[in-house]
Amino acid sequence: MIAIVDYGVGNLFSLKSSLNRIGAEAVVSGDAAVLKNADMILLPGVGAFEDAAKKLRDSGLAEVVISEAKNGKPLLGICLGMQLLFEKSMEYGEHAGLGLLKGSIEDLTPDIPSNLKVPHIGWNALNITRPHQLLKYVKEGDCVYFVHSFYAKPGANTIATAEYGTDVTAAVADGNVMGCQFHPEKSGEVGLNILRAFCEMEAAT
Amino acid sequence: MITKRIIPCLDVKDGRVVKGVNFLGLNDVSDPVALAQYYSDHGADELVFYDITASHEGRKLFTDILTRVAEQIFIPLTVGGGINTVEDFDRVLKCGADKVSVNSGAIRNPRLISEAARLYGDQCVVLSVDAKRVDGQFRVFAKGGREDTGMDAIQWIKQGVADGAGEIVLNSIDTDGVKQGFDLEMLDAVCQVVNVPVIASGGAGGVQDFVTLFQTLPKVDAGLAASIFHFGEVEIPTLKNTLAENGILVRR
């Protein structure tokens, strides 16, 4: 069973529907016990980093997500949920993340040509930079749907990037901790296949 | 880089798609869920659902349909029609919409754009404008293109973007239904003044019109159409192949 972490940020309807579509058993929950019992955890997120990080901490779920991840449970962060996995974000100040991945989230605007629009919204092609289980059904150049204004610069954990005036980290993985900057639940068959690949993983024991 | 988007628009009235048509293998062509699934399977990058129902019952039916679509279709969904308040935004976003399109509601209450953008983010607010040439000016029309508001379309769009509209759908009444191509002159005038995505609507009669659109106006992000897709006159996979052959970046 997959637990989608509900900490009062955004609409989880499409995400839950997409998991149902691929035959995965998913529950949306803000209950620590449910997260602990789950086989894998999905951390969604939209909106501002500071607000989301605060809600995740105040709900007590940040600790649960961190400890479950450290126990080897597969964890996938989506969009802002991926950004929250990092040490910090520079979105309007400096804000601490969960620190499960090394690195920081930066403003996209100064790093790309001024004729490109921010947010980075739309379908963009994936460049796979490191083969990974999460991307086992993905072909180089497959398009996925992005909506974001801040980004992770490619680093040691990057497994895929997208080109938008600079290389934007599209997917990350460090052991059982994974993330997608794009929305797999809005990326058609390619996105469903990424969720499918995640669901097929097993917890490290 | 970001691909150009091809967007079919589905007008829904009393739970049925208006102008439903004959697709191979599609038994009920006016079933919004089946048609949406068809388009999603055949390369549409996004879907626009437009609620043209007036009654309260019809509205409830529309949100039920939207929920069923969002349960089954995993590409971005934009919803418009009858959006007059932030409560209307909330109503359709909860059913799985990703973006909400405002038109007459924003003309009546321009603060709707800024209020919605503050609550849901700029990327969620689409300003849809029906415009027509009147006395050498691009004029905003309301009520489905029936009423001249007297407002200058370029100024109205500029203000809308300043207030937080994250995307513009520009429907030219002059070219709509004529099938002789998009209104390049009007689109160019809008692209000159805004830095958010502009979606061209009205006038597409065939594949070549989309090629001309994206080649002439590289700043246009997407092409939207209804009947040419519904009637099978243009099939999206064929359209995208032709666009790609012409050096235009598309998702395939």
Q: Which residues from B are below 8 Å from A117, CB to CB?
A: 195-197
Question: pLDDT tens digits for A98-139?
Answer: 999 999 999 999 999 998 988 899 999 999 999 999 999 999
Higher pLDDT, B19 or A22: A22
In a domain, B45, yes or no: yes
pLDDT of residue A98: 98
CATH code of the domain containing B210: 3.20.20.70
Place domain A2-199 in its CATH homologous superfamily. Class I glutamine amidotransferase (GATase) domain (3.40.50.880)
Under 8 Å between Cβ of A69 and A97: no
DSSP string, B103-167: SHHHHH-THHHHHHHHHH-GGGEEEEEEEEEETTEEEEEETTTTEEEEEEHHHHHHHHHHHT--E
Question: pLDDT tens digits for B95-114?
Answer: 989 999 999 999 999 999 99
pLDDT of A53 > 60? The answer is yes
Known catalytic membership, residue B188? no
Question: Residue ranges of the domains in chain A?
Answer: 2-199
Q: Model confidence at B28, in pLDDT bands (50, 70, 90)?
A: low
In a domain, B251, yes or no: no
Q: Report the percentage of chain A scoring pLDDT > 90.
A: 90
Task: Identify residue B192 by its one-letter amino acid code.
Answer: Q
DSSP string, A117-160: -SSEEEEEE-EESS--GGGTTPPTT-EEEEEESEEEPP-TTEEE
pLDDT of A205 > 60? The answer is no
Given the residues A95, A120, A148, A183, the one annotated as active site: A183
Task: Enter the DSSP assignment of B222.
Answer: E
Domain count, chain B: 1
Between CA A84 and CA A174, with CA A153 as vertex, the angle to 5 degrees is 55
pLDDT of A191 > 60? The answer is yes
CA A126 to each of CA A182, A190, B68, B75: distance values in angstroms, whole numbers, following the listed order: 10, 10, 29, 17
Q: Where are the alpha helices (DSSP H) in chain B?
A: 32-41, 56-72, 86-94, 104-108, 111-120, 153-163, 184-193, 207-216, 227-230, 236-245
In a domain, B252, yes or no: no
Mean local confidence (pLDDT), A140-144: 98
Given the residues A79, A148, A180, A199, the one annotated as active site: A79
Whether residue B192 lies within 8 A of chain A, CB to CB, comes out as no
**Surface of A (114-133) touching B: CB under 8 A:** 117, 119-125
Residue B138: give the domain boundaries: 5-245
Averaged confidence pLDDT in chain A:
95
Mean local confidence (pLDDT), A153-169: 97
Question: pLDDT tens digits for A84-100?
Answer: 999 999 998 999 999 99
Rg (CA), chain B: 17
pTM: 0.93
Mean local confidence (pLDDT), B80-89: 94
Question: pLDDT tens digits for B159-200?
Answer: 999 999 999 999 999 999 889 999 999 999 999 999 999 999
pLDDT of residue B26: 59
Q: Kindly give the pairing relationship between strand A177-180 and strand A167-174.
A: antiparallel
In a domain, B164, yes or no: yes
Whether residue A161 lies within 8 A of chain B, CB to CB, comes out as no
Q: Model confidence at B25, in pLDDT bands (50, 70, 90)?
A: low
